[in-house]
């Protein structure tokens, strides 16, 4: 259990980024619907994401898409450590033997 409540603004920007990632091109109204956030909030968060390179504004009518900055988000992810693969086999064996 977390020792602090989640930071609301961080939660909101991540919700918008995840929703944006599901569309090739997203309109504000679609992101607002998907995230449950007001359209004005979505616009402010998108502008922040654009400023940081995580989103791109195509034009006023087209909408937004993810930016090249999202590639940086995967750089530190290396999957689960391989020690879990060995532990999984042992745990499955114990479960099989005792259940």
pTM of the predicted protein model: 0.75
Q: Report how far residue 77's alpha carbon sits from residue 87's, in angstroms, rounded to the nearest whole number.
A: 20
65: enclosing H helix or E strand: strand 63-66
pLDDT of residue 68: 94
Its sign, for the CA torsion 66, 71, 74, 76, is negative
Domain boundaries, the chain: 8-74
For residue 63, list its beta bridge partners. 59
Class level of CATH domain 8-74: mainly alpha
pLDDT tens for the chain, residues 1 to 99: 678 888 999 999 999 999 999 999 999 999 999 999 999 999 999 999 999 999 999 987 899 999 999 999 888 877 766 677 777 778 787 788 886
């Amino acid at each position: 259990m977390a020792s602090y409540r989640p930071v609301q603004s961080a939660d909101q920007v991540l919700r918008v980024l995840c929703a944006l990632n599901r569309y090739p091109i997203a309109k504000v109204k679609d992101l607002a619907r998907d995230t449950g956030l007001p359209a004005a909030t979505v616009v402010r968060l998108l502008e922040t994401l654009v400023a940081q390179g995580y989103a791109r504004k195509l034009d006023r009518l087209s909408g937004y898409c993810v930016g090249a900055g999202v590639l940086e988000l995967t750089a530190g992810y290396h999957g689960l450590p391989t020690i879990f693969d060995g532990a999984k086999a042992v745990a499955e064996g114990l479960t099989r033997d005792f259940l």
